């Protein structure tokens, strides 16, 4: 084995050890600096400045989660259209057909969610 090859692996090992030492050092420093004064106020639930009312373990409507997931899906899918729009001329006809299929799948998904009533808030 050449010396340069071993030297490169020594650099890798030094960076791994330095990274681990930084993580341990930061965790130890935060433990030393952090004030620990437990009190009932620190252990109470804080929600937007309003005192919590009732039990937190009650059934939650699934429609809110579905609404949020649909928002994320369509938001991320919309972001995928921006790079396509920038490179539209270079992609040619095949890129246009692919994005039409992509938008068609999105439209079918949106129509399905709409017909199932997933977009109704109340």
Instruction: Tell me the domains of the chain and their CATH numbers.
Output: 3-116 (1.20.58)
Say if residue 55 is exposed, middle or buried (CB neighbours under 10 Å; 0-12, 13-18, 19+): exposed
The pTM score is 0.48
Give per-residue pLDDT as tens, 5-58: 888 889 999 999 999 999 999 999 998 888 777 788 777 776 676 776 777 677
Residue 56 DSSP label: S
């Amino acid at each position: 084995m050449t010396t340069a090859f071993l030297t490169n692996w020594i650099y890798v090992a030094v960076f791994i050890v330095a990274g681990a030492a930084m993580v341990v050092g930061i965790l130890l420093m935060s433990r030393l600096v952090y004030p620990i004064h437990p009190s009932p106020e620190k252990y109470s639930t804080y929600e937007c400045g309003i005192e919590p009312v009732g039990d937190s373990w009650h059934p939650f409507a699934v429609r809110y989660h579905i609404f949020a997931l649909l928002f994320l899906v369509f938001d991320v899918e919309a972001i995928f259209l921006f790079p396509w729009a920038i490179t539209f001329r270079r992609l040619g006809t095949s890129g246009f057909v692919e994005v039409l299929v992509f938008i068609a799948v999105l439209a079918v998904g949106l129509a399905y969610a709409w017909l199932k009533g997933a977009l109704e808030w109340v």
